[in-house]
Structure 1
Amino acid sequence: MYKQLASPTTIRVLHVYPAPETDPLICSLEHCDIDSDPEYEAISYVWGDSDLAWSVICDSNVIPVTRSLHEALLRIRLPDQRRTVWIDGLCINQIDAIEKSHQVQLMQRVYRNAYRVLVWLGPDLHGDARDAFDVCFTLGQRDMNAEELRISLTNINLRMDTSYVMWYSFRALCEFALAKDLLFLWGAEEIPWIYINMAVSNLQETDVMWRFTPYKSTLLEPISRLSAIKDQRCYATSFMGTIHTARAFGCSDSRDRIFAILGLECGDDRWAAADPAGQSLAEATIPDYTLPVEHVYRQFAIRALQRGLTEDIFLAVQHGEQLEEWQPGDMPSWSPHWDLPLVNNFPFCHRLHEICKFPGLSVESGISFTGCGSELLSMLRTYLDPLAIDTLNVLSATLDTIVALSDTMEFVQFRLPGTILESFWEEHIRPREADPGYEAVMTDLCETATYYMTSENHVSAFYTISQHPWERSPAAIAEYAKYGEYAMLRSIAQLLLETSEIASVGNPALLDKEKGEHGYFKRFYITQQGYVGMCPAAAQPGDHVALLWNTDCPMILRPQDGFYRIVGGSYMAAVNRKEMEGIPHPLDDLLSGGLQPEVIQIR
């Protein structure tokens, strides 16, 4: 059925012929040059089950398709006139990897040139579409203040969770960002994007939704991410931020986590960062669907490292609850698994002295590759075989070693002082109460608990972790220091009284919300010298906290047989402090020259 495309700018569009709702789908493909501005609508949908159990009649051929594609075409078919659309499942020959690789490079133009993108959310299985879209129409008419929003929410039935899977479609992220106009279709109902966008904006700009229906607030998160991308806010201005955002979305082909994002216009210089030959990362990343997923991921990491994007790659490293020992042939720990959601995100939380980034060193002297045959490979080489590289040689300075960790924090557990945080304090910090550095350690714990969001660390911790609308006054804190339920909070309250560190916090409820999100799938740790921080769930006692070349964020490294593996980024509160009473500053030795950085091997 598929004829060879005539030129590098040739695409196929699908003509869907009119028919009653119950008739078979009949359509035809037409070749056209995208430079000639053909008129069509593009369809965005979730591939779903890959089982080709349904069919359409295309150019007199019976073509097997997925259920999702079949349902989408049935929904957009008109009863009285032909409709011309572009839909990847039929307009691209999916079994021709070479054609697919080339057509993916045109997809940004396909979605940008379409006069409208139709977003198919799926069948309305439970009859919720009308209510959900009515909510969007009600809340999306105009900007609302908090009181108007509260009244509206008491008068409507908020149901937006049935099509949760669609919001987590990775392809949707790219397609939304490029579209001129968006129309959402759910069952028989439809709504323009402008109403959804305004409704989400109203809900996100106040704390009414969190207070009124906290259990539903997470349902808005994927929609708000798409809104940020579409409006070129937040993640859309950062190349790596966009890739990280994409990790929260479903994807039928994991290679698209790199390839499909090539068409997005990210507004930072890192995307255009060039290698010594002058080739940007975007230009060097050519879609090739003949390559296995691991090859694509490692190749992308190598090319980013060649361009000095060290911190972007190292902070993207994500493992599950365990990091297995490395064996020859395994994917190296420094190559991110882009298909794992990024829950251990620690950027922008440290203010390290520039000397800690080992300035004055080029990419070539700060980091290099070693091949499987122990050959040292130059970073300046234009081509490096990804599967022949397993070792990074990186300049590093070890700050300390982890001696104990809390249990892994789940979303709710982080905000309950009687569980993980309280137990960690009771076992590993309270025994230091008589030590000269106890106040400094408690300060670290408080800052870590509030995750660097405010300079009023003890006060923030007291209100945030307590998860209670305490009266914000010295008298209330003094009362809790004597009679409070939790020993850890009593200790914090006592420190507040002793250090006169009582201050108001703008909105404890909002801080509390943020803490649950930041703490998810992380663990508190304490080091040999008493530094407290937060790290990925995969960390374990004996792991090192180290600074690597060209990074601001301390990394967790695991020693193994003369080399290291990257566990992930971390937050060490003490690094941000100018001085610590009773405890040496973790950067003292490095800044004084007592600690000299050395080249280590990472696999």
Structure 2
Amino acid sequence: MESESFVYTALPQTGRFIRLLKIYPGSPSDRLVCELFPCDLETNPAYTALSYVWGDPTKSAELIFSDHACKIAQSLSDGLRRIRTVDETQIAWADAICINQEDQTEKGQQVNLMGAIYDRARDVTVWLGPDPTASSREAFRCLEEINEKILTGRHQECIDFSQIAVFVYNVFTNEELKFFLGSELSATLLGSPLYALWNVWSTYEKKDSWMQRTPTLRRFAEGIISGCDVDFTLVLEAAQHFNATNSLDYVYAFLGHPKAKKPDTDTTWLQADYSLTLKDQHRLLASSLAEDSLNFLAHLQQTEESLNVSEYPSWVPQWGQKHPVHAEAFWEAWDASLRKKERRQYPARSAGPKLSVSGLIIDTVDQSTPTMKPDDFEPIDWAGAQLIEDCWKLATQNAYAYPREKVIEAFASTLICDHRQPGHSAVELFAGFCMHADIKFFKNMETEGGLWSLKIVLEGSEAFGTQFKWYGTNRRFFMTKAEGLWGLGPAAMQQGDVCAVLFGADVPFILRPTGIEGEYKVVGECYMYDFMYGDAVLAWRQGNNSYAKEDIVLV
């Protein structure tokens, strides 16, 4: 908010005080007249929280604010006008006005209260803006289609989410949803509907939320939760799919989510502090998350350059950044260190740029395919089959670790990062894909694993191709040196890197020795058949000399 004369009055430092906005009555053509007043969240009057899209930053509107002329974003002005009535004063909250954006200390304090602000609101108005092309009908048609797919159990199919309206997570923290549409709806919204739905909204486990009160939506969320471990790392994954004016908000925007709190406490993993540098914010958050698990390491997006010259420690993700060679993170469905099954914690210790952990070194990376890029999968029927042949050629050029009856299962599982779930097996899906996309290759593999003796699931063809592309994009298929193990690893991996199961992490990782004994850089997560559900840990406990617990320092 811009004004040459208005000055904010500081909020009381005791209690949980916020500012609320009185919107005085007026007709659509009247000037917007408002006034701020402080209140304690414990005794607040009923108010509407406003969530709005940014709109065109070059467009502004005038607001009469406590007898001062001020300028605010046109989109915000439109949203406030939507709340205003012709005969009654309305009470509202909007971040750009109710928080002094120039006071970094206050801004941090208010962001820490953001979850409570939306939670205690009587309702939330989501303002999406005008709709000059009348695309709102199409947006809501898409929503109806999504609901229909959920009802009929077809929601796991490949869906084009590019035109589905974004529902920001603020809406789902409120007891009641009050969705006001403007006369027109914006055709383009920033962010990714898929990640808003999957990572943020469906993980919000509030008892009285809209999701919990709606059977269809509740079943959808329960289905997601049943297949993976929901933590703040999952919520933070959505950050790279949204935009933020201040890069610190890629983290702070999610502090109102229940998973932002440390287990069994009311303390968040990080307190909002706008005096921090971005690097310090990321390091502090990573250090804090490491007290519970190491799954945040799955968010690393390393390149050869970042591993060699980055100012960031290799174990500190840059949340909000989406690199051109981005690979979709995975960790939710596995339990490589038995952390989840045994409900154990392996607290890591951070000291400046170093993080001390422990783990089992599995083997050394030997050969790998070139990085499988997005275009390499198009069209999936032909290109996907070619990639599979390339991976198979590498996998079989030397002796491998798997018995005859497990070869195809190990290979297929690695390509799609298979996890244990009801339905078709990885082998059935793989057989269906090969039968459809590469019948010659399919026949040649008969003697290796007896695919012809299986019940081929033809409908598995599309499912395998979709999963292979999802997990394989910007990754490499690799083989280890000593044991002949197969895996799917990060694009930045190279010969001589090591595969490790880190205690406290739910997937294995590729590490790069620095030349100093016990010190490694984190290259990225990897999938390794037979190591995703604690197999290495159990073997080590049973005295298998192939594995030894080591103290590891990540730098």
In structure 1, C-alpha distance between the alignment counterparts of 2:500 and 2:401, rounded to whole Å = 26
175, 180, 201: which one aligns with 1:180: 175
Paired AA for residue 430 in structure 2 = A
Paired AA for residue 272 in structure 1 = P
Question: Contact 2:370–2:476 at 8 Å: present in 1 too?
Answer: yes
Q: 1:433 to 1:259 in 2, by over 3 A?
A: closer
In structure 2, C-alpha distance between the alignment counterparts of 1:407 and 1:290, rounded to whole Å = 39
Task: After TM superposition, give the deviation of residue 351 of structure 1 in Å.
Answer: 5.5
Higher-helix-fraction structure? 1
Alignment of 1:320-339 (within 5 A): 321-327=303-309, 330-339=311-320
Q: Tell me the residue number matched to 2:360.
A: 397
Alignment of 1:397-546 (within 5 A): 397-402=360-365, 403-410=367-374, 413=377, 415-419=380-384, 421-422=387-388, 424-425=390-391, 427-429=393-395, 431-432=397-398, 442-453=408-419, 456-464=425-433, 468=436, 485=438, 487-497=440-450, 500-502=453-455, 504=457, 508-528=461-481, 529-546=483-500
In structure 2, C-alpha distance between the alignment counterparts of 1:362 and 1:182, rounded to whole Å = 40
Alignment of 1:31-70 (within 5 A): 31-47=38-54, 53-70=60-77
Question: Contact 2:359–2:503 at 8 Å: present in 1 too?
Answer: yes
Are 1:252 and 2:245 an aligned pair? yes
Q: Tell me the residue number matched to 2:215.
A: none
527, 531, 552: which one aligns with 1:571: 527
Are 1:82 and 2:89 an aligned pair? yes
234, 241, 262: which one aligns with 2:234: 241
Alignment of 1:368-379 (within 5 A): 368-370=349-351
75, 89, 104: which one aligns with 1:97: 104
Question: Contact 2:293–2:345 at 8 Å: present in 1 too?
Answer: no
Task: List runs of 5+ in structure 1 lacking aligned partners.
Answer: 150-157, 191-217, 274-279, 371-388, 469-483
Count of aligned pairs between the two proteins: 508
Paired AA for residue 489 in structure 1 = F
Are 1:345 and 2:329 an aligned pair? yes
User: Does the residue aligned with 1:272 lie in a helix, a strand or coil?
Assistant: coil
Q: 1:350 to 1:487 in 2, by over 3 A?
A: farther
Paired AA for residue 548 in structure 2 = Q
In structure 2, C-alpha distance between the alignment counterparts of 1:143 and 1:461, rounded to whole Å = 26
Q: Tell me the residue number matched to 1:480.
A: none
Question: Contact 2:360–2:548 at 8 Å: present in 1 too?
Answer: yes
Question: Contact 1:128–1:162 at 8 Å: present in 2 too?
Answer: no
Task: After TM superposition, give the deviation of residue 95 of structure 1 in Å.
Answer: 0.6
In structure 1, C-alpha distance between the alignment counterparts of 2:431 and 2:417, rounded to whole Å = 13
Task: After TM superposition, give the deviation of residue 112 of structure 1 in Å.
Answer: 1.3
Task: After TM superposition, give the deviation of residue 571 of structure 1 in Å.
Answer: 0.4
Task: List runs of 5+ in structure 2 lacking aligned partners.
Answer: 1-6, 186-191, 213-220
258, 262, 283: which one aligns with 1:265: 258
Are 1:557 and 2:511 an aligned pair? yes
Q: Tell me the residue number matched to 1:380.
A: none
Paired AA for residue 310 in structure 1 = S
Q: Tell me the residue number matched to 2:289.
A: 304
Question: Contact 1:323–1:567 at 8 Å: present in 2 too?
Answer: no
Alignment of 1:17-32 (within 5 A): 17-32=24-39
Query: What TM-score does the superposition give when structure 2 sets the normalisation length?
Result: 0.76
Q: 1:35 to 1:544 in 2, by over 3 A?
A: same
In structure 2, C-alpha distance between the alignment counterparts of 1:548 and 1:339, rounded to whole Å = 25
Question: Contact 1:465–1:512 at 8 Å: present in 2 too?
Answer: no
In structure 2, C-alpha distance between the alignment counterparts of 1:531 and 1:237, rounded to whole Å = 29
In structure 2, C-alpha distance between the alignment counterparts of 1:109 and 1:39, rounded to whole Å = 14
The root-mean-square deviation of aligned C-alpha atoms, in Å, is 4.3
Residue deviations 1:389-431, cap 9 Å, x none?
A: 0122333432222221342342881844535623523642354
Are 1:319 and 2:284 an aligned pair? no
Are 1:73 and 2:77 an aligned pair? no
In structure 2, C-alpha distance between the alignment counterparts of 1:418 and 1:531, rounded to whole Å = 25
Q: Tell me the residue number matched to 2:548.
A: 596
Q: Tell me the residue number matched to 1:294.
A: 279
Task: After TM superposition, give the deviation of residue 221 of structure 1 in Å.
Answer: 5.9
Residue deviations 1:346-402, cap 9 Å, x none?
A: 3255565759x9999974xxx5444xxxxxxxxxxxxxxxxxx01223334322222
In structure 1, C-alpha distance between the alignment counterparts of 2:334 and 2:457, rounded to whole Å = 24
Question: Contact 1:547–1:554 at 8 Å: present in 2 too?
Answer: yes
Q: Tell me the residue number matched to 1:13.
A: 20
In structure 2, C-alpha distance between the alignment counterparts of 1:143 and 1:556, rounded to whole Å = 37
Q: 1:143 to 1:503 in 2, by over 3 A?
A: closer
Q: 1:571 to 1:443 in 2, by over 3 A?
A: same
User: Does the residue aligned with 1:288 lie in a helix, a strand or coil?
Assistant: coil
In structure 2, C-alpha distance between the alignment counterparts of 1:237 and 1:358, rounded to whole Å = 17
Q: 1:354 to 1:499 in 2, by over 3 A?
A: farther
User: Does the residue aligned with 1:447 lie in a helix, a strand or coil?
Assistant: helix
Question: Contact 2:376–2:383 at 8 Å: present in 1 too?
Answer: no
In structure 1, C-alpha distance between the alignment counterparts of 2:434 and 2:539, rounded to whole Å = 29
In structure 2, C-alpha distance between the alignment counterparts of 1:59 and 1:22, rounded to whole Å = 20
Question: Contact 1:177–1:264 at 8 Å: present in 2 too?
Answer: no
Paired AA for residue 523 in structure 2 = V
User: Does the residue aligned with 1:600 lie in a helix, a strand or coil?
Assistant: strand
Task: After TM superposition, give the deviation of residue 442 of structure 1 in Å.
Answer: 4.4
User: Does the residue aligned with 1:489 lie in a helix, a strand or coil?
Assistant: helix
Residue deviations 1:518-554, cap 9 Å, x none?
A: 3344332222243221122332333221122333421
In structure 2, C-alpha distance between the alignment counterparts of 1:125 and 1:598, rounded to whole Å = 62
Task: After TM superposition, give the deviation of residue 465 of structure 1 in Å.
Answer: 5.6
User: Does the residue aligned with 1:263 lie in a helix, a strand or coil?
Assistant: coil
Paired AA for residue 400 in structure 1 = D
Question: Contact 1:535–1:571 at 8 Å: present in 2 too?
Answer: yes
In structure 2, C-alpha distance between the alignment counterparts of 1:57 and 1:542, rounded to whole Å = 66
Paired AA for residue 445 in structure 2 = I
In structure 1, C-alpha distance between the alignment counterparts of 2:534 and 2:38, rounded to whole Å = 66
